[in-house]
Structure 1
Amino acid sequence: MRAAVFDRFGPPEVLHVVHIPDPVPGPGEIRVRVLAAGVQPFDVAVREGTMPWAKVEFPQTIGQEYAGVIDSLGEGVRDLAVGDPVLGSTMLNGSAELVCVPAANVVRKPHNLDFPTAAALVAASQTASGALLELGVGADDVLLVHAAAGSVGTVATQLARLAGATVIGSAGPENHERVRRQGAVPVSYGKDLVSLVRATGLHPTVALDGAGGEAITQSLELGIAPDRVGTIVDDKTAAEHGTRVVRAGRDPERLARVVELAARGEVVMPVHAFPLDSVVEAHRAVESRHSQGKVVLLLASTNS
């Protein structure tokens, strides 16, 4: 099979596509023929060598999110069948034509959700839904989402709106219309964010930081209680100010709920797709933090 690998830590250019042996599913596992694979900041950090707890052995495959079709069953798998479309999380091997994963961890793909969108939702759905749960976001809240145009911010905004909350979303001016379509009041990020939020006339009660930088201190300046300021990116500043790091972890049930909302058109995720052979360009797009949608690699025809 073909897979994206890297032989040393470094910039996107260390990535290349090679042929490696096909994996074989063990007991309780399935093998998925991957049609689309998400690319996320975690992948960038692993490739750069700035994720020290991630166990890397060169040549190292990469990727955490996949969507595709089951092509082989391991011993003991009963509730899934060859040909079933599925999606889910994996660890450091998703950007490949085949991946073996525990059958218990997969989510069935609804027939009316395309494979690129399914792959794009995997990490963002689990991170966003878990963060909102930990922060207790509800109908009486005004949620400030830092980086509302990012993949996590995109899902968090829409889930919060579905829960009845009012949402303010920070983003660059070029993304304000998209943030508005997601149901949020857009404001520009940067040094003027506090005054821009105040100018909306809304009073945030909870904040989700997907941007880092000044986001935590700005949230506190707006009067949000420290235990209702959560970050997914800035552990150091959170520790300094007594705010929260919100990482609920992977949960197929939470992912399945968001996927069903997406299949009904209630959660929308824009996709920026690259072929597998353009994995270097895909990683550059993630690093730029200005990609117009979630970055996804296409590994085969994804029309179904």
Structure 2
Amino acid sequence: MTRVVLATAYGGPEVLTVVDQPVGDPGPGQARVEVRAAGVNPADWKSYTGAFGTDPGQLPRRLGYEVSGVVTAVGPDAAGPAGPLSVGDEVIAFRVSGGYAAELVVPASALVPKPGSLGWEQAAGLMLTGATAVHALTATGVGEGDTVLVHGAAGGVGLMAVQLAALRGARVIGTVGSDGADLVRRFGAEPVRYGDGLADRVRELAPDGVDAALDLVGTDEAVDVSLQLVADRQRIATIAAFGRAGSEGIKALGAGPGADPGTELRDAARLDLAEAAGAGRLEVVVAATFPLEEVAAAHRQGMAGHTHGKLVLLP
């Protein structure tokens, strides 16, 4: 048996509970992982708050898309992107289903080696935000010499996008609230306060124009300002404002309606993300950690929308 988090109804974090469930043995092409840390992401709470629908047939449902841990058993032909797996391997698992658990069985294809220099919490928070940022930067063609505007630069995906854009040789301007400027600046971006007058403040910083924009927050302000500043709408991408994307002709990325999921691109990014993080070129900022039993508190903090970096559960 292992402890797992279940959403037993649709609603707020109060519907979450921790129960014991059988973990089972890995079958062909699978491995069992003892979870050391599990990353928390907005998609987790959207799955039970009704954002993705309220099909009663989907309840109770497990949560969690990314974990770090140790392989405890392997099935026949269990190989990941880096090769065959063995008991004792330290791994990062993404994308998985039901990662909020003390132990779980996953497809071996979801497992990449965890760099020894990377802590469990950082490893668990790397992949979903990192792969999303890679997708957004690739879709908008951000590269050497570009000026890119990142909305929500101090959030989980935002901090990844800021760092990865800088590694590509781009100049990064990042929107922040009252307390995110220093963090964004530390990673090489130029912070700018969101709110009334944002477009004018960006123009002051970049009088020669903005080449691309990433909306990582989903607000009308982020979309409107991007449309004002970026001439080519195919160089504007959103991971949240899916309705606006359809009406405005900008790129929608991720799991929303009409969006490009970018599955192959995101999967292909995993080894590079792990290597960059292990080498110290990419930092995962962990805002807070919570015991598995305090998952509701973790979600309440995440849903408040002002977390700088990643929230992580520790089974």
What TM-score do you get using the length of structure 1 for normalisation?
0.94
Match of 1:132 in 2: 137
Give the Cα separation in 1 of the matches to 2:227 and 2:56: 36
Residue type of the alignment partner of 1:232: I
Which of the numbers 85, 94, 102 marks the counterpart of 1:89? 94
Could you list the per-position Cα deviations for residues 6-49 of structure 1 after superposition, in whole angstroms to 9, with x for gaps in the alignment? 21011011111111111321211011111100110101110212
Match of 1:99 in 2: 104
Residue 299 (structure 2) pairs with residue 298 (structure 1): no
Change beyond 3 A, Cα 1:292–1:217: closer
Match of 1:110 in 2: 115
Number of matched residues? Answer: 299
Match of 1:212 in 2: 218
Residue type of the alignment partner of 1:277: E
Give the Cα separation in 1 of the matches to 2:88 and 2:57: 32
What TM-score do you get using the length of structure 2 for normalisation?
0.91
Which of the numbers 283, 287, 297 marks the counterpart of 2:303? 287
* Structure 1: tracts of 5 or more residues without a match: 300-304
Which of the numbers 248, 252, 272 marks the counterpart of 1:241? 248
* Structure 2: tracts of 5 or more residues without a match: 255-261
Give the Cα separation in 1 of the matches to 2:54 and 2:30: 25
The alpha-carbon deviation at position 56 of structure 1 amounts to 5.8
The alpha-carbon deviation at position 249 of structure 1 amounts to 2.6
The alpha-carbon deviation at position 54 of structure 1 amounts to 8.7
The alpha-carbon deviation at position 107 of structure 1 amounts to 0.8
What RMSD over aligned residues (CA atoms) do the two structures have, in Å? 1.7
Give the Cα separation in 2 of the matches to 1:238 and 1:65: 27
Indicate the percent of aligned positions where both proteins have the same amino acid.
39
Match of 1:227 in 2: 234
Change beyond 3 A, Cα 1:148–1:76: same
Q: Which segment is superposed worse, 177-186 or 284-293? A: 284-293
Could you list the per-position Cα deviations for residues 76-116 of structure 1 after superposition, in whole angstroms to 9, with x for gaps in the alignment? 22611001011122444000011211112211001110111
Give the Cα separation in 1 of the matches to 2:236 and 2:77: 44
Match of 2:259 in 1: none
Give the Cα separation in 1 of the matches to 2:139 and 2:241: 16
Match of 2:285 in 1: 270
Give the Cα separation in 2 of the matches to 1:233 and 1:75: 39
Structure 1 segments, 4+ long, off by >6 Å, are none
| 1:1-304 matched pairs, under 5 angstroms | 1-52=2-53, 57-77=58-78, 79-202=84-207, 203-213=209-219, 214-247=221-254, 248-249=262-263, 251-271=266-286, 272-299=288-315
Match of 1:302 in 2: none
Query: Do 2:139 and 2:235's aligned partners in 1 also have CA atoms closer than 8 Å?
Result: no
Residue type of the alignment partner of 1:153: G
